[in-house]
Amino acid sequence: MTETNTTREFLRHTVATLAYRGGKAVKGAPDSFGAFKIGETTRTPLEILAHIGDLLEWALTMAKGKPVWKGEAPREWSAEVERFFAGLKNLDEYLASDAPLGNPVEKLFQGPVADALQHVGQINLLRRLADAPIRGENYFRAEIERGRVGAEQSENRLEFD
């Protein structure tokens, strides 16, 4: 495997990690969670999830070498969850292809992908503040695989009590 393929495969693993962690953050959220707000100037979980969807679409346009930012208004929670997984799938499929990358893997990671990971952490924090926490987990032992970027993730987890 060439260095370019190695870094590209690592980015695919990062996208799969985002799917695993993000999927855990949104799964089983109460109906009211999307509108939960902790302050006047803070985003709601729905607004954060919509922003993650924007980031994933931007990442794909960057991967194709034609970056376009489109900040979209949030939809319903379930629609944004679907958009999240669709964005992951589209990005992963492009990364898995032989199509050339229009930007360096490192830039794709440090911009939209790392930003999306950070925002998943915000959703997790808001889950705890909204009395709907997710269980902590040893993510080192998680079964995360390149290409597994949908809502269906491994249930073989080492969660903390």
Q: pLDDT tens digits for 23-78? A: 999 999 998 999 999 999 999 999 999 999 999 999 999 999 999 999 999 999 99
- Domain borders along the chain are 3-28+45-136
The predicted structure's pLDDT at residue 149: 98
Distances (CA, A) of 71 to 5, 11, 32, 98, 144: 31, 23, 23, 28, 29
List all residues 6 or more positions away from 8 whose beta carbon is below 8 Å from its beta carbon.
95, 101, 105
Rounding to the nearest 10 degrees, give the CA dihedral for residues 23, 27, 30, 31: 70
The predicted structure's pLDDT at residue 4: 61
Look up residue 64 and give its two tokens. 């194709």
Mean pLDDT of the chain: 95
The predicted structure's pLDDT at residue 1: 45
User: In angstroms, rounded to a whole number, what is the distance separating the alpha carbons of residues 110 and 114?
Assistant: 5
